[in-house]
Amino acid sequence: MGHFNNFKLGVYCTAQTLSRLTPERLDEEWAYLEKYVGVDKVYLETYRGDTTVEREQMEKMIGFFKEHDVEIAGGITTVTPDLTAEDRKRQRLFHTFCYSNPAMREHLKKIVEYTAGLFDEFILDDFFFTSCRCEDCIREKGSMTWEDFRAAKMEEVSKNLILEPARKINPKVRVTIKYPNWRESYHETGYYPKRQREMFDYIYTGTETRNTAHTDQHLPHYLSYSLMRYMENAAPGRNRGGWFDTYNCWPIDCYLEQGYLTAFSRPQEITLFQWGDLFENKLVTPLGIQLTKIDRILDRAGAPVGVPLYLPFASCGENHLEDHLGMIGIPLEPMPDFPQDAETVLLTKASAKDEAVLDKLEQHLLAGKTAVVTTGFVAEIAPDQWERFSTARFSGRKLPANRYQVTDDPSGHYRVNFTTAFPELQFGNNASWSYVNAGAGDYHSSLLLADTYGPGRLYTLAVPDLFSALSDLPVPVTDVFRRVLSANDMFISGRNVSLFLYDNNTFILYCYAREGSCPETVTLHLLKEASAVRTLDGKRTVSLCADVCRRLEQTEKEWKGQILIQPGEFLAFEIV
């Protein structure tokens, strides 16, 4: 039996860590990790850069973990020092391999053969990318684009240097490719899950988000959930797990949030990177307690659901907008294929990568369903193509706003003391209708424009230039967005709180702990009748009151309740 019912807890051990571990240190560090986390599986890395773990040392490690009943897999990190003096001319980010170089290719093949000889399963850490623009790569690329060259190159490398050599040495071997936390750049660097998902036995997902504002990449916290769901939809049942680390994590909740959100996505495994960084690290000490609580929640929660967001493979544009929407409480389910069966679909700039997207949108609307498109999406579509759906046009000007109006609420006027910039949408009055206006002085335009198309409804959402400004908008304004993008007949109203929905009338709320956070009172809006909402542990019940309101041209009855939640806290509920 593992430590948790719903997932295995893995710890990744780098080659550098494994090379230094003596039997005494191993005993001591194992005891710490067992006490504070609970280890079900270890990934034992054979190779990383200048370090290869010698067979004798690796066999000692394997023996130790077997004795302790821990599942074992191997790991490889595909970075290498210069192999010859001539390699100095190859300017490789993080010393990733140049796959046009025969010596480096041979080097990798030998590492793979060594690893497959030791393990029946191994994973490639997320340095399995190439951004090399050395003269050999430029020559090989010829007239191709870098994107096409790298996709073809890494498919060939995956087959000839990883999978075939590994399977030849060990026919039982299963190989996992781990994808980094930067989906928007996969196609720039040779990561091509559309093809590689069929080649590898499993995929794995990086869910590191760290301190969003102060880390190297732009990694909003909701990514730890949204990317897991995207990769699960890319390879259903074969997204083996989520993986995060301790770097750039402050305050302590910033580290823990990565684990919470990864777990909320219902992974098969959660892997902590890496053994050497975890030992005596205060960030790690609450993890076992918190994951035990989430494990109890997952015993009762169903399968994750949300509003489908269409992000085709190899797409980018309005990068991480979905994460900022997730962090204002909109429950999203990103996926690489257009969601044929969904009632509501969200399309962003990245969705426009699909050349057939307008036909798919039209079919969706003609089936009587709802679509929400962002201004970034509309900007990608030629005006004469868009004209059939909406009168929305870009003026090319910016709309600075410090005043907002929810147009179907007579009291819905809000003034704030800061200015947020939006792309200005112009539209035909009474040909389209605005549900949210914004502006300054005597001027305003629409932030949420509604059109009908056949039996379907289309909303155009103006996204602030700075996505993180979404969380600063007046709550009644973002309530309209959340109502339009609701799922499971419910939405929440509040700030700084994410909603995680499951298909069995359960949901989780998480309140982000970041600079300036304070306790939040979330209003629950249930759009179908419920007799009660209570926490899964049965200790708290939310009292509900019925209300009738006219919103989006419909008179709706809803049931409302209030929930107080503290920063860093998660609460799980069932609707009965």
In the complex, the residues that contact Zn ion under the rule CB under 5 A are: 98, 100, 132, 134, 137
- Minimum distance between the CB of residue 101 and Zn ion, rounded to whole angstroms? 6
Smaller CB separation from Zn ion, 136 or 184: 136
- Minimum distance between the CB of residue 130 and Zn ion, rounded to whole angstroms? 7
Beta strands in 283-409 (DSSP E): 304-305, 307-310, 332-335, 344-347, 370-374, 393-406
- Minimum distance between the CB of residue 364 and Zn ion, rounded to whole angstroms? 43
- Minimum distance between the CB of residue 123 and Zn ion, rounded to whole angstroms? 24
Smaller CB separation from Zn ion, 105 or 551: 105
Collect contacts of 54-57 with beta carbons under 8 A, ≥24 apart: 54/19, 55/118, 57/18, 57/19
Smaller CB separation from Zn ion, 189 or 445: 189
Residue 169 in tokens: 């040495």
For 341, phi then psi, to 5°, come to: -95, 0
**Neighbour order of strands in the sheet with 554-565:** 490-493, 520-526, 554-565, 545-551
Smaller CB separation from Zn ion, 54 or 86: 86
Q: Cβ(233)–Cβ(333) under 8 Å?
A: yes
- Minimum distance between the CB of residue 115 and Zn ion, rounded to whole angstroms? 23
Number of alpha carbons in the 13 Å side-chain half-sphere of residue 184: 17
Q: What is the 8-class DSSP label of residue 215? A: S
Which residue, among 276, 260, 122, 147, has the nearest Cα to 204 in the 3D structure?
Answer: 122
- Minimum distance between the CB of residue 134 and Zn ion, rounded to whole angstroms? 3
Which residue, among 413, 477, 414, has the nearest Cα to 447 in the 3D structure?
Answer: 477
Q: From the CB of residue 571, how many other CB atoms can be counted at a distance below 10 Å?
A: 21
Smaller CB separation from Zn ion, 137 or 234: 137
What single-letter amino acid sits at 253?
D
Instruction: Give the DSSP per-residue string, 216-262.
Output: SS---TTHHHHHHHHHHHHSTTTEEEEEEE-TT--SHHHHHHHHHHH
- Minimum distance between the CB of residue 91 and Zn ion, rounded to whole angstroms? 9
Q: What is the 8-class DSSP label of residue 119? A: -
Q: What angle do CA 392, 397, 401 make, to 5 degrees?
A: 90
Smaller CB separation from Zn ion, 34 or 87: 87
76: left (phi > 0), else alpha (psi -120 to 50), else beta?
A: beta
- Minimum distance between the CB of residue 445 and Zn ion, rounded to whole angstroms? 49
- Minimum distance between the CB of residue 110 and Zn ion, rounded to whole angstroms? 19
- Minimum distance between the CB of residue 145 and Zn ion, rounded to whole angstroms? 16
Smaller CB separation from Zn ion, 98 or 378: 98
Smaller CB separation from Zn ion, 14 or 100: 100
Smaller CB separation from Zn ion, 89 or 168: 89
Smaller CB separation from Zn ion, 134 or 416: 134
Q: Cβ(208)–Cβ(247) under 8 Å?
A: yes
Residue 200 in tokens: 């590898």
